[in-house]
Chain A
């Protein structure tokens, strides 16, 4: 189906347009970006008849044998592609009034959009790697060119960390191809994975790239800097979509390519996931910078994803998928709110904020909502995924899972602390800041609708992914 190919090509081509127009017509790029993402969404919606929302697999244009360009969409990638499109649209709308080099800015957003879509759509492992690395450069410029005060340091750190991890992953990609007959097709590599001579080596080489991206403690240190220094749209894309690349890579590459190695690694992954949950929450609790607090909360949420993946039963993998999508919405919403607050106050210091409940009531309502979603309030999207992950982990690993409870308590603590120090408390020095604009309100409502919808109807995500995840779980002997 040509729609799949176009979903990557359209944003890429529109990026060039945006770059070209930006110099002479500064108002054009944002429309170009919006149209590109609308087209992407339309293409995605047109796949409904192919059954991608009920877990069917769709493949892109077949160029014959040899080409490295081959794309496919199945239940594993469909929710993440949808998330990419939604977050992309949010990123464009939130930066609607971007005045600083708008051409380059929207071109970068569209380039990111193309690369991220390609990561989730790639069927050829080489295309996957190409797309994976293609995300680096635009994000580097987005952070470095439009970030806040310490942006250059954060951008460079981000680039070096993830490129280094990607270089190790490349060795895994080459080995995986070489040891299974040389075909770049992921399906073929997974089918021939029994031939692999060194599955454990391949698994860990691939994982090197993924654990940095997820990120797993202790490979997370690029994240707080990058998320904090990035412009709002950058943070939203980083937290909303980029972090999912790592977990998606585990599900799509590492597990099916080396099921036996994954079996051996399950315990370690579970421990690392739990460490991520507790450590991320603890670090979030002690932050004095609001944006950094949200950034560390991502580490904790992604810990749940890794824990669920380590359990590997169909239900646990579904939970992982659910947490990923939910986190995309929740973190996106929180970064949007923190960003809009920063635009008005030019500070993210918790110590200088407070009493915003009276000053900016709508912002405060939205923030409380986001914080509740983040701490996993039942009825909101954070709850079903994390609860199911815990349940499955307890079935598989037993009482040691109880350590996660510490993380849950801390999650409540840091979220409520964030609420207390911004929304409640004595009024701060910013006594008259404007409340949410109508544009921001629309985005907040969209986020909130998604969060409530997934919270009440987690099946919308689970049903799409179910069949792919069941097969995957069977491949790796999940839950055994």
Chain B
């Protein structure tokens, strides 16, 4: 596969699938549209992952990087988006504008992939804004007043972030480099005087990206957006665009901190990560709504990714963010499934009481995903967290031994906050486990008596539906999380990093 083919195959199928979905919607063939979009995304994803292993890192047109980590992230974004599309099949075909919604996911995934692999600031802006437009629309698909309000708030706040980005872009492009390409930017920032100007430009762009990934203190849009959007749309919002923006932030940070700006930018990134972990964890602990809790948990998880960005380990960022995005896709799809199976579910964590007994497949799968997100081995999420903590602890020890006590202690503090957040995460993810499996719903309390005598055949609980596509998707994701989590034990710690290391 040449670099050009890789680039085309990464974007074209997803875009094509989205177009077909729109066309099918127009002719009222919604089912075909959803399948076409999902298939397009899956092909894009597979192409990206293949390219990660077969194409060396190369640039296409000077603005898009393919191969290795870049293609891997693009591929994963496509793959996760296709999981949400297939998982949301049941929901999409009955929703008004269902074809449009999957087209939005397809376009959003392509835009997020662009964000992840571009090496040009202007194109980064284009990608981010395209992804954002899709995201606003996906939130408002919730078609309730609250969803409209959330989309509006999201839009207004996002516009401010965009303004930040444009200002930063203007500074960097206007003062330092003529065309905004990273290659030139790194050396230009390092060589020139005007360090404060460069710092301002970099900070503005970092702030804008921090908004896009939902890092504290720029996170206030996420809970409303994720809670009010249809869960299958939220599944995409919380994975694809976040993964793309995190990749962009990792690359941009690596570029601007390669020179003399590092000592000033690293503390900023460290503070962002500390705030995100603390705010996200503590807020998640107080939520009663399931998806809102997931949104705040996402803020904390972004904090862990920021820890890896702080210590300049871009590959760890990508790996950790991917483990998060995969599991998160499943957790939101589980909400779709619960809503379908139990139309009177109010969306609260307490409302899931007893679901574990009535829908064991999806519940166990969701339990696996939550345990993985909490970073408990031997699941996929553990390896992500292990890499993050190993990176920051090793960096901290290195700095302390090398005598730069300031940054050493700062990183040690970051590690401690990260651990604290990780312990708290057991609290909020655990609350869902507790509801699902340990609490008994008042309505099914009658089952208790039956189960006492259940050594005889188990009675089939009335009203049990077979799993929908969302439930099936959750189970598929959970199996992937278990299998991928076991791989490093057999094949070594670097197995899961292979796609990011590339050829």
Contact = CB atoms under 8 A, between A and B. Distances in A.
B is bound to A: yes
Interface of A: 23-24, 26-27, 63, 66-69, 97, 99-102, 126-127, 129-130, 133-134, 136-137, 140-141, 144-145, 151-152, 155-156, 159-160, 163-164, 167-168, 170-171, 174-175, 178-179, 184, 197-198
**Centre residue among A101, A130, A140, A159 by max chain B CB count within 10 A:** A130
B423 A164 contact: yes
B489 A159 contact: no
Interface string B386-404: 1001100110010001000
B454 interface: yes
B489 A68 contact: yes
A156 B430 contact: yes
A97 B453 CA distance: 11
Nearest to A161: B423
Interface in B288-311: none
Interface of B: 357, 360, 371, 376-378, 382, 386, 389-390, 393-394, 397, 401, 415, 419, 422-423, 426-427, 430, 433-434, 437-439, 451-458, 488-494
B493 A63 contact: no
Contact of B491 (A66, A99, A170): A66
A130 B393 contact: no
A145 B419 contact: no
Please report whether the interface of chain A is mostly helix, strand, loop or mixed according to DSSP. helix
B434 A144 contact: yes
B419 A167 contact: yes
Nearest to A155: B438
Contacts of A163: 376, 423, 426
Contacts of B457: 26
B387 to A, nearest CB: 10
B429 to A, nearest CB: 10
Give the residue among B386, B415, B489 with the most A Cβ atoms within 10 A.
Answer: B489
B493 A126 contact: yes
Contacts of A160: 423, 426-427, 430
A152 B455 CA distance: 25
Contacts of B382: 130, 133
A289 to B, nearest CB: 22
A66 B376 contact: no
A66 B452 contact: no
Contacts of A151: 438
Contacts of B386: 126, 170, 174
B377 A134 contact: yes
Contacts of A144: 434, 437-438
Most buried by A among B378, B382, B491: B378
B419 A130 contact: no
B390 A67 contact: no
Q: Which A-B residue pairs are the 8 nearest by beta carbons?
A: A66-B492, A130-B377, A144-B438, A69-B489, A164-B423, A167-B419, A133-B377, A174-B390
B397 A67 contact: no
Nearest to B456: A26
Contacts of B494: 66
A144 B430 CA distance: 12
A73 B376 CA distance: 25
A68 B492 CA distance: 5
Specify the main secondary structure of chain B where it touches its partner: helix
Nearest to B374: A163
Given A144-B437, A145-B438, 7 more contacts: A63-B490, A68-B493, A129-B377, A130-B378, A134-B376, A144-B438, A174-B386
B397 A175 contact: yes
B434 A174 contact: no
A190 B376 CA distance: 26
Contacts of A127: 489
Contacts of A26: 454-458
A69 B419 contact: no
Nearest to B492: A66
Contacts of B437: 141, 144-145
A480 B389 CA distance: 37
A156 B451 contact: no
Contacts of A178: 390, 393-394, 397
B393 A23 contact: no
A32 B57 CA distance: 51
A156 B427 CA distance: 8
Nearest to A133: B377
Nearest to B401: A197
A202 to B, nearest CB: 11
In the complex, which of the residues B390, B401, B456 has the most CB atoms of chain A within 10 Å of its own CB atom? B390
B438 A179 contact: no
A66 B426 CA distance: 30
A471 B431 CA distance: 46
Nearest to A68: B489
7 contacts: A67-B492, A68-B492, A99-B453, A126-B386, A136-B376, A160-B423, A170-B389
B127 to A, nearest CB: 36
Nearest to A143: B438
A41 B457 CA distance: 32
A164 B438 CA distance: 22
Contacts of B357: 101
Contact of B393 (A68, A134, A167, A171): A171
B458 A23 contact: yes
Contacts of B389: 170-171, 174
A179 B401 CA distance: 11
B390 A27 contact: no
Nearest to B398: A178
A163 B457 CA distance: 38
B490 A67 contact: yes
A182 B78 CA distance: 35
A102 B419 contact: no
Contacts of A156: 430, 434
A137 B423 CA distance: 14
Contacts of A155: 434, 438
Contacts of B378: 130, 134
Contacts of B490: 63, 67, 69
Contacts of B401: 197
